[in-house]
Amino acid sequence: RFFHILPTMMARIGFDGRVVEANRSWEEQLGFSVAEMSGRPCLDLFHPEDRALVEDHKRRILGGERQVLFDARCNCKDGSVKWLSLRCASDPEKELIYLAASDITARKLTETALRESEVTLRAIIDSAPLAMSIVNIDGTIEYINQQAVKTFGFPHSDIPNMDRWWALAYPDETYRKEVVTTWMGRVYTAYEAKTAIEGSEFRVTCKDGSL
């Protein structure tokens, strides 16, 4: 049957929460055979910390929602854990929930590593004796350290993006154009060449009016 040769994990779950039918992709991904899945409470497959989340989405389905999407961790037969992206749709007449799942473990691990790296980077920046910031390529100022606030007087709320920084730090329009042209030219050159941005010196007007 087409159901069993699909690479996506597919299953039919009864409104009682038990697996009615599952395809062979579950065995390939989690290690449980079709026979082991059949009749089993679906909740048993999920990581204990995510079962409340699964139950909440089941209640939403039973409450009338036709489709729900969520990510959750599943237990593999060998004891390991995988992250799955799950899409569930209900069939009230047959009292069935149709479930499709795909493995997103690699993506989740990457996201976790990036978050941990960002926390470490911010800790380093905050302890630095220099005014420092993290700026997105679209100009959003993601973060400024306390030394930057102390040096220039502008809290993050005053300068959420570079447009606000240019306007406040360089109130003279002529000088501002000079600074923006020079600095952004160097930023784009470095971005395209994948090199460090060449530094420069500029006169900054602080919040209290000093230079």
pLDDT tens digits, residue range 105-128?
998 988 888 888 888 888 888 888
Residue 1 confidence (pLDDT) above 70:
no
Mean pLDDT on 186-196 = 91
Angle at alpha carbon of residue 98, lines to 95 and 102, rounded to 5°: 160
What is the full DSSP assignment across 72-122?
EEEE-TTS-EEEEEEEEEEETTTTEEEEEEEE-HHHHHHHHHHHHHHHHHH
The encoded tokens of residue 189 equal 């050159």
Residues across the chain: 211
In this structure, the strands spanning 9-14 and 19-22 are: antiparallel
Query: What are the Cα distances from residue 144, in Å, to 16, 128, 191, 200, 208?
Result: 52, 11, 21, 19, 18
Tell me the per-residue pLDDT of 10-61, one tens digit each, with 9 for 90 and over.
999 999 999 999 998 998 899 999 899 999 999 999 999 999 999 999 999 9
Q: For residue 114, give Cα distances in angstroms to 53, 84, 108, 110, 141.
A: 24, 19, 10, 6, 18
Say which DSSP state 153 is in.
-
